[in-house]
Amino acid sequence: MSALFSPHTLRSVKLANRIVVSPMCQYSAERGEANEWHMIHLGHLALSGAAMLCIEATAVEPEGRITPGDLGLWDDVTEAALKPVLAAIRKHSKIAVTMQLAHAGRKASSHAPWDGGQLIPVSEGGWLPHAPSAVPQKADETPPLALDTAGLIRVREAFVASAKRAARLGIDGIEVHAAHGYLLHQFLSPIANHRTDEYGGSLENRMRYPLEIFDAVRAAFPADKPVGVRVSATDWVEGGWGIEDTIAFANELKKRGVDWVDVSSGGVSPLQKIPLEPGYQVPFAKAVKEATGVNTVAVGLITDPVHAEEIVASGTADFVAMARAMLYDPRWPWHAAAVLGASVDAPPQYWRSQPRELKTLFGDISFGQR
């Protein structure tokens, strides 16, 4: 049996295989509201054959958007906009649907990547970002506002409110975004966190606020549904956050009942130097898995089915998540199953597409016609 296509359970969520569609920012919402693009984008990925689909980084408050086009879940309107998208997925797919809750921190108020991705000044329709410290992402940018006590409470309550909305929508699980240089990663990294209070300085202090957010989300979301965390294992900058820090953070999350740790890297500094190659982040997932025993998700230029199989079969990670590879090949799990001699779930409308030599790709089915 293929390890990649073996089942796994996260609390009450039963997964048919170990393939996850990573959250992918689309920068296509309007005032935080999902629209027809999200229906098409998430709908076709829900038919991919993966076991879990994670909705893109979803801002818990308007100021927490990376761009004006970020998806949000902060009021009744943004909640209602997601209902038809989820209803369509539920009607036609068995895939587990999770959501990544996020706050951009000092990386907020930016142009979409295809428009340059730079900070949008307040004078040009942007807003002043909030962060752990008044330290900009880039030296020539306007410094963000350092979060005071009231701001910390506001953001924490926003995460809680969004988690409750996600529960009402029937979302199967939540991933708290603490990676890629966004707010919670900013608290973790000494590059962005220059605070001198109980939320800055030592590793214990820098972990405090992200752990408070996890605790608050975990308490607000149904106990029988899983909550995971995405982390950046290293800043790829000397003197920044590193793998040993990540392991310490993962151990604290384990104590709190985290259901998975999604191990990525980078994003907090433009000075990062990342050696890109297939599976370049997999060793970080392995290190977290070996040190903590928590469910881990491996990511990072994983495109070959045999490579993905080896990652799971060896115990390096429990899941493999893909983003760009899945956009390029939305039926990647089908093709991986064909290579590995496994089967995937597919809607009956597509059953006739399986090649004759792969009669069991969609399981034990028959398709008659008068």
Encoding tokens for residue 240?
């920044």
CB atoms within 10 A of CB 243: 16
CB atoms within 10 A of CB 68: 20
Question: What's the rounded Cα separation, in Å, for the pair 269 and 288?
Answer: 23
| Structure confidence by residue, pLDDT tens digits, 330-349 | 999 999 999 999 999 999 89
pLDDT at 356 (0 to 100) = 78
pLDDT at 357 (0 to 100) = 82
**Ramachandran bin of 267, using left for φ above 0, alpha for ψ from -120 to 50, beta for the remaining angles:** left
pLDDT at 64 (0 to 100) = 98
pLDDT at 365 (0 to 100) = 58
pLDDT at 354 (0 to 100) = 81
Place of tokens 């991933």: 175
Which overall architecture, per CATH, does domain 8-358 show? Alpha-Beta Barrel (3.20)
| Structure confidence by residue, pLDDT tens digits, 92-133 | 999 999 999 999 999 999 999 999 999 999 999 999 999 999
pLDDT at 69 (0 to 100) = 98
- 12-16 contact pairs (CB < 8 A, 24+): 12/224, 12/225, 13/96, 13/172, 13/173, 13/225, 13/226, 15/51, 15/52, 15/96, 16/51, 16/94, 16/344, 16/345
Name the nearest CA neighbour of 174 among 29, 57, 30, 78: 57
So which residues are the catalytic ones? 182
Question: What's the rounded Cα separation, in Å, for the pair 235 and 243?
Answer: 9
Encoding tokens for residue 261?
């740790």
pLDDT at 366 (0 to 100) = 55
Name the nearest CA neighbour of 206 among 192, 225, 224: 192
Residues of the chain whose pLDDT is less than 70? 364-370
* Model pTM above 0.75: yes
Residues facing 110 on adjacent strands: 119
| Structure confidence by residue, pLDDT tens digits, 245-282 | 999 999 999 999 999 999 999 999 999 999 989 999 99
